[in-house]
Amino acid sequence: MKLLIKGGNLIGYDKPADILMDGGKVKTIAYDIVEQCDKVIDAKGKYVLPGLIDMHVHLREPGFEHKENIYTGAKAAAKGGFTSVCCMPNTRPVCDNESVVIYIKDQAAKADFCRVFPIGAITKGSQGKELAEIGCMKEAGIVGISDDGNPVENSQIMRLALEYAADFGVLVISHCEDKNLVADGIANEGYNATLAGLRGNTKAAEEVIVAREICLAETLNTSVHIAHVSTAGSVEMIRHAKKRGVKVTCETCPHYFTLEDSLLSSYDTNIKVNPPIRTEKDRLAIIEGIKDGTIDCIVTDHAPHHEDEKKIEFQYASNGISGLETSFALSYTYLVKAGHISLAKLVELMSINPARALKLPFEGLKEGCTDITIVDIDSPYTIDVAKFLSKGKNSPFNGYEVYGKALYTIRNEKIINCEVL
Ligand SMILES: [Zn+2]
């Protein structure tokens, strides 16, 4: 099949250009292509980007289908403009062996809304005691390992994980949280948590494990990826480590550069996430980290929940935000439109850098490329959680006016119109 994407704005081109795809791959990018095609997409006034990649989502299947399943999660991802997502292994059963990996891939292939790359557990059952079968899971198709939701408490096990993962060529994604330091904290420790009467969770609980992972990666000369960075201190440590040549990469989420903890006074359980929403100082440090390249990737940490798990007292509510359908818009609006970074930089954060970190064969929009996302950045709209395709309507961004809407995703010959999903 031949597809012509006509007259879109492309990063790196000074005027609108055409893209010809043949057999699911970009064959030519040029001005004014004249060719008989099976399908033409008019992209005039829109931006044509490499397919967006979210390397940290929770699709909840198997085991927690009342929150989300692979079908609804992948559909929500496509609506948000993502052509690929990586799903975390904290399902039931935990994705710590090849049969769960294969199950996830089969369900994702049936749904066919986007590519779904499973992340395997670091340890069996994510219990932190014994390494999972990393080699078998790699053969079955994982692209990384993580005990996300839990830290790997035992430093020796983390060391072994980093060494084995390096041998198998999979990325270790570390959920940095010292549970002993968190104790029973539920909100960022400090003035606003105290004012709201909520028990504090110190930023040190994140930072001590970030420091450990940097130390291990530096000592062993292996790669490590830090999940959902939320504090100024984490950003600073990662910045310095990168300067020394440590192979550390990291990610943050839209809620860490859009929200700060004075919002706790609302007791809105939709802002309850882990790590918690931090202070304004941290929020600004996250933006600085994005600007100077310390932070490599923007991910959603898409964490859909049933409304019963959020419509309860703050202390009992589940952690997480349903983020797949708002990520690009929030990032575009609060980073690009706000003047902090260029659209080209945002594409690095949401497509090129995740591909590079995971060694996925999608690096930018060029000849041979298979995955494309077309977006409208000019028309404002209001986020309405009632319209989410995700089962999880738990978002603090309901009612926000944003810019940046996905119009189409293209994966090989599969064309999805995001607005009629
Ligand atoms: Zn996590």
Q: Say which residues have a Cβ less than 8 Å from residue 265's Cβ, sequence separation at least 6.
A: 192, 195, 196
Written as one string, the DSSP assignment of 98-133 is HHHHHHHHHHHHHH-SSEEEEEEPSBGGG-SSSB--
**Element (H or E) spanning 236, and its range?**
helix 232-243
One domain, residues 71 and 40 = no
Q: Are 251 and 272 in the same domain?
A: yes
Give me the pLDDT at residue 139, please: 97
CATH value at residue 55: 3.20.20.140
Q: How far apart are alpha carbons 421 and 354 in whole angstroms? A: 25
pLDDT of 363 reads 82
The three state secondary structure string of 318-379 is: CCCCCCCCCHHHHHHHHHHHCCCCCHHHHHHHHHHHHHHHHCCCCCCCCCCCCEEEEEECCC
CA distance 187 to 209: 18
d(C-alpha 211, C-alpha 199), whole Å: 24
Cα of 125 from ligand 1 centre, angstroms: 15
Helices 204-220 and 232-243 pack at an angle, to 10 degrees, of 10
Q: Contact, 272 vs 301, CB < 8 A?
A: no
The CATH code of the domain that includes 22 is 2.30.40.10
Domain shared by 65 and 135, yes or no: yes
Residues 26, 136: one domain? no
Q: What are phi and psi of 211, to 5 degrees?
A: -60, -45
Same domain as 260, residue 182: yes
Residues 217 and 337 in one domain: yes
Q: What is the pLDDT along the chain (421 residues), one digit of tens a residue?
A: 999 999 999 999 999 999 999 999 999 999 999 999 999 999 999 999 999 999 999 999 999 999 999 999 999 999 999 999 999 999 999 999 999 999 999 999 999 999 999 999 999 999 999 999 999 999 999 999 999 999 999 999 999 999 999 999 999 999 999 999 999 999 999 999 999 999 999 999 999 999 999 999 999 999 999 999 999 999 999 999 999 999 999 999 999 999 999 999 999 999 999 999 999 999 999 999 999 999 999 999 999 999 999 999 999 999 999 999 999 999 999 999 999 999 999 999 999 999 999 999 998 999 999 999 999 999 999 999 999 999 999 999 999 999 999 999 999 999 999 999 9
What interhelical angle do 204-220 and 155-168 show, nearest 10?
50
C-alpha 268/C-alpha 48 separation (Å) is 36
Q: How many domains does the chain have?
A: 2
Instruction: Examine the domain organization and report whether 172 and 309 are in the same domain.
Output: yes
DSSP label of 168:
H
Do 185 and 284 lie in one domain? The reply is: yes
Q: Could you tell me the CA-to-CA distances from 75 to 69, 85, 211 in Å, in that order? A: 10, 11, 37
pLDDT at 237: 98
Distance, CA of 356 to CA of 340 (rounded, Å):
23
Domain that holds residue 21: 2-46+373-420
**37 CA to middle of ligand 1, Å?**
45
Q: How far is the CA of 148 from the centre of ligand 1 (A)?
A: 4
Say how many C-beta atoms besides its own lie within 10 A of residue 180's C-beta: 9
Distance from residue 159's CA to the centre of ligand 1 (Å): 19
Provide the pLDDT for residue 281: 98
The Cα 190–Cα 185 span in angstroms is 11
Give Cα 42 to chain centroid, integer Å: 29
Whether residue 181 is found in the same domain as residue 288: yes
Residue 126 has φ and ψ, to the nearest 5°, of 50, 35
CA of 228 to the centre of ligand 1 (A): 7
332 C-alpha to center of ligand 1: Å? 23
Which of 394, 374, 367, 368 lies closest to 383, judged by CA?
Answer: 394
Based on the domain organization, do 377 and 247 belong to the same domain?
A: no
Q: Does one domain contain both 58 and 42?
A: no
Tokens at 19, concatenated: 């893209």
| The pLDDT of residue 141 | 97
Query: Of 268, 301, 308, 371, which is the active-site residue?
Result: 301
Q: Looking at 365, 389, 406, which one is the last position of a domain?
A: 365
3-state secondary structure of 3: strand
- Please confirm, yes or no, whether 292 is among the known catalytic residues: no
Distance of alpha carbon 26 from alpha carbon 372, whole angstroms: 9
102 and 214 housed in the same domain: yes
